[in-house]
Amino acid sequence: MYDVVIIGCGVIGASAAYELSKYKLSIAVLEKENDVACGATRANSAIIHAGFDPKPGTKMARLNVLGSRMMGELCEKLSVEYSQIGSLVLAFTEKEMECVRELYERGGKNQVPGLRILTRDEVLQIEPNVNVEVIGALHAPTAAIINPWGLCLALAQNAKINGVDIHLNSEVVRISNKGGHYHVETTSGAYDTRYIVNAAGVYSDKVSDMVAEPFFRITAVKGEYYILDKSQGDIVNYVLFQTPSSVGKGVLIAPTVHGNLIVGPTSEPTADPEDTSVSYRGLEEVVKKSMRLCARISFKESIRNFAGVRAMGGDDFILEASAPNFINAAAIKSPGLSSAPAIALEICDLLKENGLDLIEKDSHTLYKKKPLFKNMRPDEQKKVLELDRRYGRVICRCETITEGDIIEAIKAPVPPVSIDGVKRRCEAGSGRCQGGFCAPRVHEILSREMGRAMESICQGKAGSYILTGKTKTPGGGAV
């Protein structure tokens, strides 16, 4: 019997697990995919919003500003890539300038620090590559960029070493109220728990419906993106936003913490929450709308296109109980990533209000991943090489990732089970060739280190097998 079961291990579920692991509780996380951070956490804009956009007085506004304030310290503590570079909302017409002034006023009500309205000359002075037709902008210095899956992984790793059980490949199919506790049936087995936190993302309404009368609906909205080579990474200095519309913040341009440039997303409702395909039409829309912000981008330098699906469910986050001891953390659209640390605190408060005793542990262990070999000082590299020569073998040439780096990722508390899982943990395959050179080597290392047949290793999600068997025997004959 668990005290708390968390359904979903994206950044919200992982944040809740991390925060709750500080208390004397038995906790489990149930994740339907074969790894953590496989949903919206894996595919988003990787931005920590300052908090001027949400409507004042909403949970979204309060938790965005608090989460943004908490994020820098949390990322430093957990060794997660984070950079507070600030953002600009650009205006090209007087009507858009009115929107900028409204956002400034809204940001003031939300207590966002440091907001300024800039003139055209001030914008061009700090961001010389933007469209020269700009007439002004809102500057938010507390906005930042982050490694979103890195944050989720770090939270999950820390939760795991502090006693949280993480059950992957465990899709929830039925929940029964047994009068005092819940019986949760999954594709991997059944679990009993006193409390449930529903952080199931685009499926959170379906999970809530298992225990309560329907009271919210989630719409899955797909957004398509470009990732551009590092040659484009310094085209802009800030996160560049359009003035927002009814469907969201629009196509944006931002540097990434790894030195690339991200451009997108589109915003299109989809009937299939698993649809992460990209389209010519969607990518063409990204190019067209981004050119209004900055025409200097060379989309010929694209190294990858991807799409993410986000959970839309109204004008505010849904953070409340819908049944006894059943807490929803649902409709966590943007700025959900920015709000995650604050949402975790809110979840703890809601559990406490529903009768869960939160007694702090005497100690809480901190897990920090080892720096990549390329990021070590020369004296550190020498010391590491003396202990393990595999750090001297470069596997991913684009990102200079070594065999030692990959093995270190595999030995982590929540290890990768796929080639994409390795990529998210240590950057192998994230460079210009996108794994064209290193993927077979990563495949071999995963197989060897995990003691698994090559045929059982997936590219990404469960079922995405790469090999089906051998074509030749060692002696040369066909099988």
Query: Position 210: which residue type?
Result: M
Phi, psi dihedral angles at 229 (to 5 degrees): -60, 160
Q: Rounded CA gap, 86 and 318, in Å?
A: 28
* Residue 463 C-beta-side C-alpha neighbours within 13 Å: 2
Q: Supply 55's token pair.
A: 């409507």
Q: Rounded CA gap, 53 and 51, in Å?
A: 6
49 given a catalytic annotation:
yes
Of 324, 298, 236, 307, nearest to 272 by C-alpha is 307
Q: Where are the beta strands (DSSP E) in 201-317?
A: 219-228, 239-241, 252-255, 261-264, 268-269, 302-312
Q: Supply 242's token pair.
A: 């359009």
Q: Spell out the alpha helix ranges (H) of 79-112.
A: 94-109
Q: Rounded CA gap, 253 and 234, in Å?
A: 11
Beta bridge partners of 118: 137
Q: Which helix (H) or strand (E) holds 446?
A: helix 439-450
Q: Rounded CA gap, 357 and 3, in Å?
A: 10
Residues acting as catalytic residues:
49
